[in-house]
Amino acid sequence: MKGSGSTGALRIGEAADQVCLFPREVQGGIEQRLYRAARRLQKAPLTWLAASRLTEVVRSGDAVVLLTGAGAPPELPAGETDGPLGIAVLGRALQLGLGARPVVISEERNLGPIRAALEVTRAACSLLPIPCGREDPGYRLLEELRPTALISVEKLGPNPKGVIHDTRGRDVSASHASVRGLFDSARDRGVLTVAVGDRGNEVGFGLLGGPHVRPRLRPGRCRCPCRGSIACDIRADVLVVSSISNWGAYGVVTCLQTLTDRRLLHTPEDEAAMLEAAVNAGARDGVTHTATFTVDGADLTVQQAVVTLLGNIQ
């Protein structure tokens, strides 16, 4: 693999960030604005930052917890197609590249599609359900698993008032797991936290909640009685913003390849097989709510094009 060494990896991270930020709207959407804020704050290509911190921290045999979960019945009875694929590709890369033991956590209804995507990658990950609502097993889980890194990809999280919102501004707290305890526990234990998101209502965007971010960057207001912002206030050590969260995870894997000098990214054919497997296991498009081979309203060919472009960065 070309471009080894930290300068090469930085350059690859810059390219990977750009591919992952492929604009879904001509004008550029909220993702572009959130990216610019996250980039200003973190001062390096985001995918590279995540990959290099993971490479520094995760040792062979270490447990790494991967977290996803967005969407609930009736529209999304087994979650959405954004998240499970990113988790599967990242889990496999951490296992092959760093020798980690990935443990994937999500609401129970999402485990079928996640397992289906993982089977395509042949990654040996354990899966654990996490309960919905107020019960927060985060501290106990990290005590049991003792991971060196906690990574979320498209995991909805609460705003400062403790309300979890979907992108339409609805209160979905009762149907999603409370994950604040996981991240509080990770911070207390010095566990590296990495978060990948696209709209601002996912875990990790608390990093942008400080004085560095102008108010207009805050994602829209909710439609529930809390009258807050939909922006999640849980912070992560590294926040990766991409147009679709799966792509951000693939971008991190692209940088991990360079840092470990191993082929870790999946193929466009794997992307098709994962998406088909996840949809057949019940996952639906998170934007259109249809059981189609699409992610956030974008066709499979677009997903494959992003994988192709990332695979050609050198």
Write out the residues near Zn ion by the rule CB under 5 A.
163, 222, 224, 226, 228
Least distance between Zn ion and beta carbon 44 (Å): 33
Least distance between Zn ion and beta carbon 297 (Å): 24
Tell me whether residue 142 or residue 222 sits nearer to Zn ion (CB atom).
222
Least distance between Zn ion and beta carbon 221 (Å): 8
Q: Is the dihedral of CA 79, 80, 83, 86 positive or negative?
A: positive
Least distance between Zn ion and beta carbon 219 (Å): 12
Q: Kindly report the three-state secondary structure assignment for every residue of 165-202.
A: ECCCCCECHHHCECCHHHHHHHHHHCCEEEEEECCCCE
SS3 63: strand
Residues ≥6 apart with Cβ < 8 Å to 141: 65, 105, 128, 130, 182, 185
Looking at the DSSP bridge assignments, the partners of residue 64 are 102, 149
SS3 283: coil
Give Cα separations from 134 to 130, 163, 199, 267 (angstroms): 11, 11, 23, 39
Least distance between Zn ion and beta carbon 222 (Å): 3
Tell me whether residue 172 or residue 249 sits nearer to Zn ion (CB atom).
172
Residue nearest to Zn ion (CB): 222
Least distance between Zn ion and beta carbon 210 (Å): 21
Query: CB of 271 within 8 A of CB of 310?
Result: no
Least distance between Zn ion and beta carbon 161 (Å): 7
Concatenated DSSP letters for 153-166? EEEB-B-TTS-BB-
Tell me whether residue 211 or residue 225 sits nearer to Zn ion (CB atom).
225
Give Cα separations from 281 to 78, 157, 223, 309 (angstroms): 8, 24, 31, 28
Tell me whether residue 74 or residue 225 sits nearer to Zn ion (CB atom).
225
Residues ≥6 apart with Cβ < 8 Å to 54: 94, 98, 149, 151, 192, 194, 252, 256
Tell me whether residue 171 or residue 285 sits nearer to Zn ion (CB atom).
171
